[in-house]
Amino acid sequence: MGNWPSSTSVAVSSDLRDARTGRGESLRRLSLAALLARDPAAKAASVQSLRARWLAGELVCLPQERIEEPDGLPGRPERPTLVAPRLLRHRGMQSREGRAALLHALAHIEFNAINLALDAVWRFPDMPEPFYGDWLRVAAEEAHHFTLLAARLAEFGHAYGDLPAHDGLWEMCERTRGDVLARMALVPRTLEARGLDASPPIRARLVQAGDLDSTAILDVILRDEVGHVRIGNRWFRYLCETRSLDPHPTYLRLADQYHAPRLRGPFNFEARRDAGFDEAELAALAAQADPDDGTGAT
């Protein structure tokens, strides 16, 4: 499949790559098992343990293995209640309850992000091995984010599941289940990239409210999410190259085909540039932004 991007994951020795040796469990099958886990804390812990085992060379990847999709995806708790986005209340961050609602919404996003990354590991065969290591890294970092948010939420007297949430992230995961190119285009570099744009104004409001502990968690999330979007950009471009596709019109076609949400400013151009968006893409975003929406400041 030609050259592929470098990965941050540790290379697995050739004998571990060969399933016939019988050495090592399947990374992709264990990722599916973690995806099926319903308890959020247990899921987060299992993902972090799984990545440690991968980095230690204890697992095999088996990219060519076809795995039948089981029922029950994704594994998640009975709560929170999932509702349409328009039914969610928006609360100001000057109150503790408003900040708790924000922390709960962020925890829900990070829990779903664990599931999205695990789904990429098990679902898509025939990718280069670094692809699987990259998305396992993403899952482990999302698990860390969830753990930080859950602990902070507990300091506000709440637990994940106490408030309603929506299912938009997983719905896009479902729509792109049949094409890894669409998944790379529309989950990391569309939905997750929206988080890069949303972080600065949220951070500013938290600082204004004097909640520096929550601000510190948001800073960790933004730092890591830049890397996650960069991974999505990397593999999207790799797939475009292997399929002889021009990335720019291909992205627009996929966004229309899969009904991706329309991007709206303000845009965090600095973070998007760090995450691997090219200048043509950034110029297109700038052209659709309102001239007075403050995007030039980023």
Local structure of 159: helix, strand or coil: coil
DSSP track, 240-277: HHHTT--HHHHHHHHHHHTTPPPP-S---HHHHHHTT-
* pLDDT computed for residue 91 by the predictor: 73
Q: Which residues face 59 on adjacent strands? A: 25
What would the pLDDT profile of 57-81 be if each residue is shown by its tens digit? 999 999 999 999 999 999 999 999 8
* pLDDT computed for residue 169 by the predictor: 85
User: Quick one: tokens of 99?
Assistant: 């900040």
* pLDDT computed for residue 23 by the predictor: 53
The answer, yes or no, to whether residue 265 has pLDDT greater than 50, is: yes
Burial of 243 (0-12, 13-18, 19+ CB in 10 A): exposed
* pLDDT computed for residue 202 by the predictor: 94
* pLDDT computed for residue 119 by the predictor: 98
What's the mean pLDDT when you consider all of the chain?
89
User: Quick one: tokens of 33?
Assistant: 């098992």
Q: Are 33 and 67 within 8 A, CB to CB?
A: no
What would the pLDDT profile of 153-172 be if each residue is shown by its tens digit? 999 999 999 999 988 889 99
What would the pLDDT profile of 93-147 be if each residue is shown by its tens digit? 889 999 999 999 999 999 999 999 999 999 999 999 999 999 999 999 999 999 9
- Residues across the chain: 298
Q: Are 268 and 197 within 8 A, CB to CB?
A: yes
Domain extent listing, the chain: 83-297
Please tell me which residue, 298 or 247, carries the higher pLDDT value.
Answer: 247
Q: Which of 3-17, 36-50, 210-224 shows the lowest per-residue confidence on average (mean pLDDT)?
A: 3-17
Please tell me which residue, 89 or 290, carries the higher pLDDT value.
Answer: 89
Topology of domain 83-297 in CATH is Ferritin (1.20.1260)
Phi, psi dihedral angles at 25 (to 5 degrees): -85, 165
Q: What is the band of 12 on the pLDDT scale with cuts at 50, 70, 90?
A: very low
Please tell me which residue, 292 or 204, carries the higher pLDDT value.
Answer: 204
Count the Cβ atoms, other than its own, within 10 Å of residue 150. 20
Q: Are 96 and 132 within 8 A, CB to CB?
A: no
* pLDDT computed for residue 294 by the predictor: 37
The answer, yes or no, to whether residue 40 has pLDDT greater than 90, is: yes
Please tell me which residue, 12 or 251, carries the higher pLDDT value.
Answer: 251
Q: Are 181 and 97 within 8 A, CB to CB?
A: no
The answer, yes or no, to whether residue 297 has pLDDT greater than 70, is: no
Q: Which of 230, 123, 128, 130 is nearest to 179 (CA)?
A: 123
The answer, yes or no, to whether residue 215 has pLDDT greater than 50, is: yes
**H/E segment holding residue 25:** strand 25-26
